[in-house]
Amino acid sequence: NAGVMQNPRHLVRRRGQEARLRCSPMKGHSHVYWYRQLPEEGLKFMVYLQKENIIDESGMPKERFSAEFPKEGPSILRIQQVVRGDSAAYFCASSPETGTPYFGPGTRLTVT
């Protein structure tokens, strides 16, 4: 049983470009979560999704950030017009109903 998959593992974008981060949950997991880890900081919740629905986006910045989890395919975290402050590690986790979240290896985003 493969774990949570994230790609790309590393992503470099120039200021103003768009970043798309992908997450494929573990088999049988219907819940996906995105967390951000800034340098020298802990992990902060961003958004929680089920298939085709955003359940909780209380941690998402109001502008430039969006997330989706379509009926088919991976969950995508999209950052438009990236700025240097978006440089961070972005982790995806998945869980079954009320179960334990398991994390992917993360995507390290660098904005130049």
Partner 1 sequence: AQSVTQPDIHITVSEGASLELRCNYSYGATPYLFWYVQSPGQGLQLLLKYFSGDTLVQGIKGFEAEFKRSQSSFNLRKPSVHWSDAAEYFCAVGVITGGGNKLTFGTGTQLKVEL
Q: Which residues bind partner 1 (CB under 8 A)?
A: 4, 6, 31, 33, 35, 41-45, 48, 50, 55-56, 91, 93, 95, 97-106, 108
Q: How far apart are CA 49 and CA 13, in angstroms?
A: 25
Q: How far apart are CA 79 and CA 86, in angstroms?
A: 8
Cβ atoms of residues 33 and 53 within 8 Å: no
Closest contact distance (angstroms) between CB of 62 and partner 1 is 19
Closest contact distance (angstroms) between CB of 49 and partner 1 is 9
Cβ atoms of residues 75 and 55 within 8 Å: no
CB within 8 Å of 63: residues ≥ 6 apart: none
Instruction: Please say which residue, 25 or 82, places its beta carbon nearer to partner 1.
Output: 25
Q: How far apart are CA 91 and CA 76, in angstroms?
A: 12
Instruction: Please say which residue, 50 or 112, places its beta carbon nearer to partner 1.
Output: 50
Instruction: Please say which residue, 8 or 16, places its beta carbon nearer to partner 1.
Output: 8
Closest contact distance (angstroms) between CB of 109 and partner 1 is 14
Closest contact distance (angstroms) between CB of 26 and partner 1 is 12
